[in-house]
Amino acid sequence: MRVGDLFRTASFRLALLFALAVAAATTVVFVFIYWHVATFDMRRVDARLPEEVARAAAEPDEQLLRKLRLRLTSDLRKLDYVGLFDAAGAPVFGNVAALPPGTPLDGSVRQAEVTPRVEGAASEPALVAARRRADGSVVMIGRSLYEVYALRKLVLRALALGVAPMVFSALGIGLVFSLRTLRRLHKVDAAIRRVVQGDLHDRLPVGRLKDDVDNISAGVNSMLDEIVRLLDQMRSVNDNIAHDLRAPLAVARLSLERGLAAPDPAGARKAIGRALAEIDRATATAAALLRISEIEAGRRRHEFAPIDLAAVCATVRELYEPLAELRSISFAFEARGPVTLPGDRDLLVEAVANLVDNALKFAPEKGTVALSARNSHSGPEIVVADDGPGVDPAERDLIFKRFHRSKSAEGVSGTGLGLNLAATIFRLHGLAVAVTDNHPGARFIVSPQPSDPVSETAAAAPGVARL
């Protein structure tokens, strides 16, 4: 870690900006105080002296001397100056050695250097006002500016002593926080580099404070979890496709070899037909797996819009009613008013169709299949029931996993992906599908997902299906 990196961090820049802002604000406050200190007393003296010197000039000699003497004796801080001078300018009474040169005698106030009537005393700045009396003498009243100047120096010293330590303290605090932030960012950068190098199971450090950096790290970790999940899903799809295509392709190749070796055209056609059937099966399996992968990735969420599940179920009934009639199966349908849900209509038609197709496959000839949609106390609900062999209780959690074939599915065609595809579509719409006993047969119930994250995680695991 280089020292120069500290000064380039956002924390140090923020601390520097804060220090400058505080210094500027403090300077403004001190300047305001300084201006008031420097002008308030002077304005007060400016307003008072002309009146006082005017009254003094009109007083009789004895009364004037008494008032001047009282003014001096009551001035404990020795800030007042008074002086009575004869017509020639010689001092008669007061604590001023001489009338300051250039002092106007009209009672106006001016700043001047006043020499106290003390031997060896130095002159001091003061505000003075003088006026000539009727007998030609001059009376002068003044106020020392010593305290004003001393207070000015005190304010300036306080400004210098207060702002500088505050600025340095703010910069020091900024350096400490910059060092802490830089260390955290270095840990985050190291974790990101490990992820970039292929360690997708590494995660960014998240502290206990849950500040902005921790929130970003937690968001990146969630993103990495999703990336790992999608990669695992992609590998699972590729492995499933490779595994399930091997057998159909091997059978198709063997059938074609037998067709080539067949002595008559009929045998060759039969072998080719079997090969085409296996190829169709492999194609359907690959398409179903890719379809499940696409839906699990949530690529169609942007197409969601309010739809009526009752209308979806009615569409599925119209599609499968001819097949039910062909097998002499009674297909009942019930919808209790509109059942609205935000979603993708085509996907939901596909999901409900998979449930109905599964029920028709397992329902006996002249059996019954029932499809219903309604609003339950927990939300939208779809029920598909048949009177077939049903599902063994031990298999009810397995039939929604990929490629699982229940014992009752022997002799029934299928890829083993239909129920998994249906469950994936329902999960994308916030729904969960479960199977119960229909006495006899199986009863599939689609209802809102539980809020328990453990249940949702278990439901989201890729699996295999009964169909």
Q: Which of 273, 296, 319 is the last residue of a domain?
A: 296
pLDDT of residue 233: 66
pLDDT at 225 over 50: yes
How far apart, in whole angstroms, are the C-alpha atoms of residue 246 and residue 282? 9
Kindly report the number of other CB atoms within 10 A of residue 295's CB atom.
19
Helices (H) and strands (E) in the chain, counts: 10, 12
pLDDT at 244 over 70: no
Q: Per residue in 382-414, pLDDT tens? A: 999 998 888 877 777 767 776 555 555 554 555
pLDDT of residue 177: 73
Residues pairing with 84 in the sheet: 93, 139
Q: What is the 3-state secondary structure (H, E, C) of 92-117?
A: EEECECCCCCCCCCEEEEEEEEECEC
With CA atoms as reference, report the closest residue to 313 among 365, 359, 260: 359
How far apart, in whole angstroms, are the C-alpha atoms of residue 94 and residue 126? 15
Q: State the pairing for strand pair 80-85/442-448.
A: unpaired
pLDDT of residue 285: 61
Structural domain for 142, as ranges: 1-202
Going by pLDDT thresholds of 50, 70 and 90, the confidence category of residue 467 is very low
According to DSSP, residue 248 is labeled H
Assess whether 275 and 420 both reside in one domain.
Answer: no
Q: What is the 3-state secondary structure (H, E, C) of 200-242?
A: CCCCCCCCCCCCHHHHHHHHHHHHHHHHHHHHHHHHHHHHHHH
Assess whether 427 and 336 both reside in one domain.
Answer: yes
Whole-number average pLDDT of the chain: 78
How far apart, in whole angstroms, are the C-alpha atoms of residue 82 and residue 74? 13
Instruction: Classify residue 246: in a domain, yes or no.
Output: yes
Residues pairing with 343 in the sheet: 305
Assess whether 264 and 311 both reside in one domain.
Answer: no
Provide the number of structural domains found in the chain. Answer: 3
Please report, rounded to a whole number, the percentage of residues in the chain having pLDDT higher than 90: 10
Q: Which of 296, 326, 347 is the last residue of a domain?
A: 296
Question: Which has more pLDDT, 282 or 405?
Answer: 282
Assess whether 308 and 275 both reside in one domain.
Answer: no
List the 124-132 sheet strands across, edge first.
Answer: 91-94, 80-85, 138-144, 124-132, 106-114
Assess whether 310 and 292 both reside in one domain.
Answer: no
How far apart, in whole angstroms, are the C-alpha atoms of residue 113 and residue 127? 9
pLDDT of residue 408: 54
Q: Per residue in 88-114, pLDDT tens? A: 888 889 889 888 888 888 888 888 888
Residues pairing with 124 in the sheet: 114
Q: Which of 281, 296, 311 is the last residue of a domain?
A: 296
pLDDT of residue 266: 77
Instruction: Classify residue 263: in a domain, yes or no.
Output: yes
pLDDT at 35 over 50: yes
Instruction: Classify residue 467: in a domain, yes or no.
Output: no
Q: State the pairing for strand pair 340-343/305-308.
A: antiparallel
Q: Per residue in 440-456, pLDDT tens? A: 888 999 999 876 443 33
Give the H or E element holding residue 454.
helix 453-460
**Which range, 187-201, 312-326, 399-413, is most confident?**
312-326
Give the H or E element holding residue 265.
helix 265-296
Assess whether 355 and 428 both reside in one domain.
Answer: yes
Assess whether 31 and 170 both reside in one domain.
Answer: yes
With CA atoms as reference, report the closest residue to 293 among 345, 239, 246: 239
Instruction: Classify residue 90: in a domain, yes or no.
Output: yes
pLDDT at 254 over 80: no
Q: Is 16 exposed, middle or buried (0-12, 13-18, 19+ CB in 10 A)?
A: middle
Spatial CB neighbours of 92, under 8 Å, sequence gap ≥ 6: 84, 85, 86, 137
Claim: this prediction has a pTM higher than 0.75: no
Please report, rounded to a whole number, the percentage of residues in the chain having pLDDT higher than 70: 81
pLDDT at 23 over 70: yes
Rounding to the nearest 10 degrees, give the CA dihedral for residues 377, 382, 388, 391. -70
Question: Which has more pLDDT, 189 or 314?
Answer: 314
**Mean pLDDT to the nearest integer, 275-303:** 64
**Mean pLDDT to the nearest integer, 142-150:** 84
With beta carbons less than 8 A apart as the criterion, state whether 438 and 364 touch: no
Instruction: Classify residue 384: in a domain, yes or no.
Output: yes
In the chain, the largest separation of any two C-alpha atoms, in whole Å, equals: 159
pLDDT of residue 446: 92
pLDDT at 423 over 90: no
Spatial CB neighbours of 68, under 8 Å, sequence gap ≥ 6: 56, 82, 84, 93, 94, 139
**Which range, 160-164, 241-245, 368-372, is most confident?**
368-372
pLDDT of residue 198: 81
Assess whether 21 and 134 both reside in one domain.
Answer: yes
**Mean pLDDT to the nearest integer, 291-317:** 75
Going by pLDDT thresholds of 50, 70 and 90, the confidence category of residue 29 is confident
pLDDT of residue 130: 92
How far apart, in whole angstroms, are the C-alpha atoms of residue 43 and residue 49? 10
With CA atoms as reference, report the closest residue to 361 among 400, 310, 318, 324: 324
